[in-house]
Amino acid sequence: MTFTIRKLTEHIGAEIRDIALTSPIRRETFAQLRITLAEHAVLVFHDQQITDEQHVAFTEGLGEIEMTMRNDPIGDGGPVGVLTNLDENGELIPPDDPRMVYHQGNGLWHSDGSFKRVPLKGSLLAAKVVPPEGGGTEFASLCAAYANLSEEKKRRLDGLVAEHSLAHSRDQIAPNLMSNAFLEETPSQNQALVRTVPETGKKALLVGSYATHIIGLPLEEGKALLKELLDWSTQPQFVYRHKWRANDLVVYDNRCCLHRARPWDGHKYARVLHRTTLAGDGRTVA
């Protein structure tokens, strides 16, 4: 092993030490990192002052990079999305500005891109500017959540499919947050409620704020089941809370965890993260 792993909690998260992401990384090391990511769901690298080019190169070493969506407020169709509360002049954008209200959806537990036909496999967040207090990101293990269900519950979930929709998530924040073009770019999609992560053979729940209802179940019954599973998955024992330091790179496997951004005082503090994403291998339903 060409790097060191330090577990951060019992079920989720590991800090990766003794590796410099500013230097070329060998193919074998990337292969080890891919397995380590699937095992721990979240990898934290501290003190990595990387450029966007190095961020993209590291992403491509881990897998196939997925471009940002054309109508997504954080991207322009390129490889790097920018999560920021600074405008083009470097001034703070007030938290109640519509540009910021849209991002409040990131405060709901979600798996990046589960509203896509092929959900995103992973995401990489590089911290450029972080607030001195608040603004952390929490991650919840979907593998530990599944593993700790009763056998009866696991049987009940077997074969169930949920509908996922980006608009559903944003509607929980405020109406009309998405442009018509963005709505057209993101029609709702069906996803398996339970999937297997090939690298580890472990099963994971797929729930979160994009999940609307369960196909074939009465609407309210399906919504109640999704809420029950979300509450179950995000219990403290399944959660790692990340407090950002500038020059952190955090890589997370969207198949294995949910995440949410925590609030901070946007009237006082800037928070700037750059994000790349890894494409998924295929659909979760036939």
Binding site for Fe ion (CB under 5 A): 112
Nearest residue relative to Fe ion (C-beta): 112
Please check whether residue 98 is in contact with residue 262, taking contact to mean a CB–CB distance below 8 angstroms: no
Taking alpha carbons only, the member of 53, 23, 58, 54 closest to residue 43 is: 58
Q: Select 74 or 157, whichever has its Cβ closest to Fe ion.
A: 74
Q: Select 50 or 273, whichever has its Cβ closest to Fe ion.
A: 273
* Minimal distance, residue 57 CB to Fe ion, in Å: 22
Q: Select 19 or 173, whichever has its Cβ closest to Fe ion.
A: 173
* Minimal distance, residue 42 CB to Fe ion, in Å: 12
- Within 10 angstroms of residue 15's Cβ, the number of other Cβ atoms is 15
* Minimal distance, residue 201 CB to Fe ion, in Å: 26
DSSP string, 16-67: EES--TTS---HHHHHHHHHHHHHHSEEEE-S----HHHHHHHHHHHS-EEP
* CA atoms of 184 and 70, how far apart (whole Å): 11
* Minimal distance, residue 211 CB to Fe ion, in Å: 14
Q: Select 38 or 124, whichever has its Cβ closest to Fe ion.
A: 124
Q: What's the sign of the alpha-carbon dihedral 224, 229, 230, 231?
A: positive
State the helix-helix crossing angle for 52-62 and 27-40, rounded to 10 degrees.
Answer: 80
* Minimal distance, residue 112 CB to Fe ion, in Å: 4
Q: What's the sign of the alpha-carbon dihedral 21, 60, 143, 215?
A: positive
Q: Select 39 or 112, whichever has its Cβ closest to Fe ion.
A: 112
Please check whether residue 52 is in contact with residue 76, taking contact to mean a CB–CB distance below 8 angstroms: no
* CA atoms of 144 and 142, how far apart (whole Å): 6
* Minimal distance, residue 271 CB to Fe ion, in Å: 14
* Minimal distance, residue 102 CB to Fe ion, in Å: 13
